[in-house]
Amino acid sequence: MSAKDAFFQKLETNANAQKEGEKAFKRDVLAFQEDTKALILEIKGWFEGTPVTASASTTLVTENTDRFEVSNITFKNGDKTLKIIPEGLYYFGMKGGLEVTIYNPSRAPSTYKFNLHWKDGISKLPGWVIVSGGVGNAPAQRIEFNQENFFKMITTFA
């Protein structure tokens, strides 16, 4: 094979790899959008029939140069607020991250945060994973996302 033929073969291989990468990214974005929306609807349902109010919306997420919208939600309980907002799609050891922030002016500190990971490669847990801590040299705590664990994490919102 001549150098010219090898060059154009490599060019075609690289172009195909780039196209496949773009398709995989689009699949990841769509799946993250759908799974986040389903998660938010599930959590919203847990508060139905309570004094807690919910306001759903979308947040624009930027990944490299691509932008896409992902669902978010804000819950209000008197002067307390709980927000679930998307952070991004690709991070070390996981895919798809949401930040949960609880603001309670009656507590010190008034703000408490933890994360929900969509596909957490570090924990190997299936589905959504609750991630907290990890300050300094302490490793982050990872537990399965379920109704019981979620409500344990948001006690300051009560």
pLDDT in tens, 33-42: 999 999 999 9
69 close to 60: Cβ distance less than 8 angstroms: yes
Range of the domain at 96: 3-157
Distance CA 75, CA 104 (A): 12
Q: What's the average model confidence in pLDDT over 100-113?
A: 94
Give this prediction's pTM. 0.89
| 152 contact partners, CB below 8 Å, separation of at least 6 | none
* pLDDT, tens only, 31-75: 999 999 999 999 999 999 999 999 999 999 999 899 999 999 999
Looking at residue 105, what DSSP letter applies? T
Q: Does the pLDDT at position 137 exceed 80? A: no
| 140 contact partners, CB below 8 Å, separation of at least 6 | 131, 132, 133, 134
How many domains are there within the chain? 1
